[in-house]
């Protein structure tokens, strides 16, 4: 059994969605987060036991650090985004309090190992599409005080900070201001959803290590959300991380992916000297996944497949050691 450190999931959003205020649901354009959740809402409320990809029961005894992203929909304004963030984080706080014997929230990078040593899941706060940073860069510091250790500037569309792959727009003035504040606060910069132009502008604006929390190789699968070889090399050279995304559509261009498809992305990264860059970025509860890693409960069997294909050292680094090493060096400046 190898320690798991998963850089991205959407589980907190999915579980918090039912108690989300109606005005935010309407603004987001969705009644329920996951397909089928409306048929069994009682199974999508609690972190301990649910129908989601990630649950405390599904994780079981596996040593596990989980980045619980607050994914903020593109349709929300900056002010609505702040209210959305506060709702999701309050939900997560409540679930951790209820299940404090099984999970704890890391206030800083060094807390992660301490929580794991106590035989609990280490929850790491992250933000996907931190639109409310555009309201005032001071919100970056507030997020850091809440324990946010990583954030991205966009999702798929053009936003107040930067743009995803739906457009070719660049980083905005507010985005550059947020970037500087994030670096000062010790919040890792997540580049997974940036379009190619924004990736280049962010890389030129900072020397900080970059993280692609849930992206694969564009050479292997041509989805624009995946990384080019040059982008991967940039992340590697800076001592960053790239999280393997389990989404079928980012693993292969058509049909359901399997373990061989997953292996091709890992092979590509290893060919480019990425042994110490590899990580997991499942995108659980935000996508459909291969049957070999359908939920957190499949992780032990998945690790066995990895070990048989890549050996002990690579498997341990990919599953958690690289990410643990990276985040152990990150202590928010506001703590």
User: CB under 8 Å to 112, separation ≥6 — which residues?
Assistant: 5, 65, 106, 122, 124, 324, 327, 328
pLDDT for residue 331 = 64
Cα 305 to Cα 166, 263, 292, 301: the distances in Å are 35, 10, 9, 7
| Dist. CA 27–CA 333, nearest whole Å | 34
Condensed to tens digits (0 to 9), the pLDDT of residues 173-185 reads: 999 999 999 999 9
pLDDT for residue 309 = 99
Cα 218 to Cα 44, 85, 146, 196, 232: the distances in Å are 33, 31, 34, 12, 10
| Dist. CA 29–CA 32, nearest whole Å | 9
Question: Helices marked H in 99-172 — which ranges?
Answer: 109-117, 138-145
| Dist. CA 66–CA 59, nearest whole Å | 10
Sign of CA dihedral 298, 68, 152, 335: negative
pLDDT for residue 166 = 96
**CATH class of the structural domain 4-13+53-328:** alpha beta
- Domain extents in the chain: 4-13+53-328
User: Strand, helix or coil at 163?
Assistant: strand
**Weakly modelled stretches of the chain, pLDDT under 70:** 331-335
DSSP class of 298:
G
């Amino acid at each position: 059994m190898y320690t798991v450190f998963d850089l991205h999931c959407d589980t907190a959003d999915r579980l918090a969605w039912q108690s989300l205020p109606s005005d935010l649901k309407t603004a987001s354009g969705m009644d329920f987060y996951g397909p089928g959740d409306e048929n069994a809402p009682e199974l999508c409320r609690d972190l301990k036991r649910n129908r989601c990809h990630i649950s405390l029961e599904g994780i079981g005894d596996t040593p596990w650090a989980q980045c619980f992203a607050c994914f903020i929909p593109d349709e929300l304004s900056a002010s609505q985004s702040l209210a959305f963030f506060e709702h999701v984080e309050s939900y997560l706080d409540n679930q951790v309090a209820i299940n404090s014997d099984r999970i704890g929230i890391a206030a800083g990078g060094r807390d992660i190992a301490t929580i794991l040593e106590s035989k609990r899941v280490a929850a790491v706060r992250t933000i996907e599409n931190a639109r409310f940073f555009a309201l005032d860069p001071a919100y970056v510091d507030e997020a850091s005080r809440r324990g946010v250790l990583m954030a991205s500037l966009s999702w798929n569309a053009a936003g107040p900070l930067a743009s995803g792959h739906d457009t070719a727009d660049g980083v905005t003035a507010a985005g550059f201001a947020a970037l500087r504040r994030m670096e000062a606060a010790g919040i890792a910069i997540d580049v997974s959803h940036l379009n190619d132009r924004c990736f280049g502008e962010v890389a030129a604006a900072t020397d900080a290590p970059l993280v692609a929390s849930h992206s694969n190789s564009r050479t292997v699968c041509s989805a624009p959300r995946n990384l080019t070889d040059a982008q991967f090399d940039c992340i590697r050279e800076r001592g960053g991380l790239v999280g393997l995304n389990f989404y079928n559509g980012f693993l292969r261009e058509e049909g359901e992916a399997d373990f061989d498809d997953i292996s091709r992305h890992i092979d590509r990264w290893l060919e480019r000297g990425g042994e110490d860059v590899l990580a997991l970025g499942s995108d659980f509860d935000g996508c459909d996944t291969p049957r070999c890693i359908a939920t957190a409960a499949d992780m032990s069997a998945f690790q066995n497949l990895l070990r048989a294909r890549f050996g002990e050292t690579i498997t341990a680094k990919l599953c958690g050691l690289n990410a643990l090493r990276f985040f152990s060096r990150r202590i928010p400046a506001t703590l």
